[in-house]
Amino acid sequence: MSSTAVQAPIFPSFAQVFQGLVGQIGQLRQMAPTPTLPEATRVRRAIATLIAETNADEAVWLESCIRCGQCTSACHYFQATGDTKYAPLRKMNLYRRVYQREIGPFRWWYRLVTRPIGLKDLEALQELVYDSCSECGRCTMVCPMGIDIASLVHHQRSALVAAELVPPELAALQMEQKQRGTVFGASAEALHRMVDTIRERAGVAIPLDKARAEVMVLSSAVDLVGNGNGLLATARVMNHLGVDWTICSDGFESANFGLLSGDMALWKRQVDPIVAAAKRIGAKTLVIAECGHAYPALRWNPTLKGEDLPFEMMYMSEYLGRQAKAGRLRLRPLQGRVTYHDPCKTGRRGGAFDEPRAVLRAMQADFVELPANKEFNWCCGGGAGIFLLERATRLRDESFKIKMRQVDMTGAEAVVVSCASCRLNFEAGRHKNQWNKRVESLVELVAAHLLDDAPQGAQSPIEEAAA
Ligand code: SF4
Ligand code: SF4
């Protein structure tokens, strides 16, 4: 298999980017804001948030658990530790108490027989809804009652935002994005600098801020603060396809620390400029960078409910897959055996299973599935911001071993991922365990295998073989 670092040596390898980011992440704890509100106010705000976010779905979910325990064995944090504290049904308990005391039909009774929620309850909740839940949805998928535990966890993250109880690393980035609109300092100026660097040193043009374009592409902080290879690869692929594309410097950031922290106002504030820019330029397609949580942040943004959007939102792997299926992506064969890790948010939640596999087929890859794949894929352990949390290190490391064992069973030399957060977590696991597998980004792999002289619209090798 060709190495992406060899194809684009002007930027550091992803392993080096990872080392640099670890240093920056280590400083986040010192930058986190400290609580300012009185204890009673924090508790009141948390309860009010849960009441406000409880609609018919949430009420039914909170009423209908039959304690069957099927969700327990589906959760990687339970599987990795054997500790029933991390059972998904326990992650709903506080929300259920609020529901029973404040909303449910027997609230008068529950107020008599249960104790009120206090700050200590909310502090204990922090580990359950941040450190030990990546909102991967695997428990949701197996629940016979159709309870969306991951969504209930997310509502509780919102409650902890109101109670000023976001874990420090996430709180620091939430604050930065709220106050300055950046993540790790990745500003519009940083985007301009990276575009200039890519043009000058790699000779690859990125059409920035076009007035009109068919396709609008997002970038991400990871691309701009270190991994220039990600943006360079994206540009190479888009230019190879010959599409009318652009990146808008007033709406380019995929990362959304509103979604990750549970801060709904920030979630919306990050999405609004992207939607406005896509409308302004008349985009037909919005391509979301390889940033797993950015997909739900845009696709299922509750603040967009009811709004007709004149463009289609697509994750990078979906976009690449459609191009591969249409024969527009002409690729050299990929050497060596690979497997693919489905990011939870784009896979189990989004259903983008066939497209990344179509890309690997177009590279004639010796591809082998993980033992549990597609909707049954296990989270890598670092999703939904957990990769950033120092306190979650043990949980993250232990659950990554599940993934490592599964990759080892395939005999693959490399695991392909299509999410920067998964990739960082894989890189951390690889480093800690002296693991001999390579971790490849799908878009970087595609860029490294482009047949640049291929005529547009021709059949892909896999289709020619099938014809
Ligand atoms: S959403 Fe995933 S991490 Fe969270 S409780 Fe369910 S299985 Fe565990
Ligand atoms: S699988 Fe569903 S019904 Fe069973 S314990 Fe878990 S949440 Fe409750």
- Residue 220's nearest CA partner among 419, 25, 26 is 419
Tokens of 245: 């594309």
Name the range with the highest mean pLDDT among 22-26, 81-85, 449-453. 81-85
Give phi and psi for 32, each to the nearest 5. -70, 145
- Regarding an ipTM greater than 0.95, the answer is yes
- Whether residue 425 contacts residue 381, with contact meaning beta carbons closer than 8 Å, is answered with yes
CB atoms within 10 A of CB 187: 16
In terms of Cβ atoms closer than 10 Å to its own Cβ (0-12, 13-18, 19+), residue 427 is buried
Give pLDDT, residue 121: 98
Expressed in angstroms, the distance from the first to the final Cα of the chain is 26
C-alpha 133 to ligand 1 mean position (Å): 5
In the chain, where the domains are located: 4-25+182-463, 39-162
- Residue 47's nearest CA partner among 158, 151, 148 is 158
Give the CA-trace dihedral at 84, 431, 316, 1, to 10 degrees: -130
Give pLDDT, residue 408: 97
Residue 405's identity, in one-letter code, is R
**Ligand 1 close to Cβ of residue 97 (< 6 A):** no
- Whether residue 220 contacts residue 254, with contact meaning beta carbons closer than 8 Å, is answered with yes
Give pLDDT, residue 228: 86
Give pLDDT, residue 9: 66
For the CA of 142, the nearest atom of ligand 2 = 1
Topology, domain 39-162: Fumarate Reductase Iron-sulfur Protein; Chain B, domain 2 (1.10.1060)
For the CA of 150, the nearest atom of ligand 1 = 1
Tokens of 110: 């529950």
Residue nearest to atom 6 of ligand 1 (CA): 139
- Whether residue 218 contacts residue 289, with contact meaning beta carbons closer than 8 Å, is answered with yes
Check residues 3 and 65 and name the one with the higher pLDDT.
65
Mean pLDDT (the chain) is 91
Tokens 């039914």 belong to which residue?
60
Give pLDDT, residue 16: 79
Give pLDDT, residue 6: 45
Q: Does the pLDDT at position 319 exceed 70?
A: yes
Rounded to an integer, what distance in angstroms lies between the CA atom of residue 150 and that of residue 135?
A: 5
Give pLDDT, residue 221: 84
**Ligand 1 close to Cβ of residue 136 (< 6 A):** yes
Rounded to an integer, what distance in angstroms lies between the CA atom of residue 447 and that of residue 229?
A: 10
Give pLDDT, residue 458: 43
For the CA of 134, the nearest atom of ligand 1 = 3
**Ligand 1 close to Cβ of residue 87 (< 6 A):** no
Ligand closest to Cα of 89 equals 2
Site to substitute for ligand 2 among 86, 93, 149, 153, most atoms within 8 A of C-beta:
149
**Ligand 1 close to Cβ of residue 382 (< 6 A):** no
CB atoms within 10 A of CB 290: 32
Site to substitute for ligand 1 among 81, 90, 94, 138, most atoms within 8 A of C-beta:
138
C-alpha 136 to ligand 1 mean position (Å): 5
Ligand closest to Cα of 153 equals 1
Q: Does the pLDDT at position 126 exceed 80?
A: yes
Give the CA-trace dihedral at 406, 4, 10, 250, to 10 degrees: -70
Q: Does the pLDDT at position 110 exceed 50?
A: yes
Give phi and psi for 335, each to the nearest 5. -90, 145
**Ligand 2 close to Cβ of residue 89 (< 6 A):** yes
Residue nearest to atom 4 of ligand 2 (CA): 68
Give pLDDT, residue 26: 82
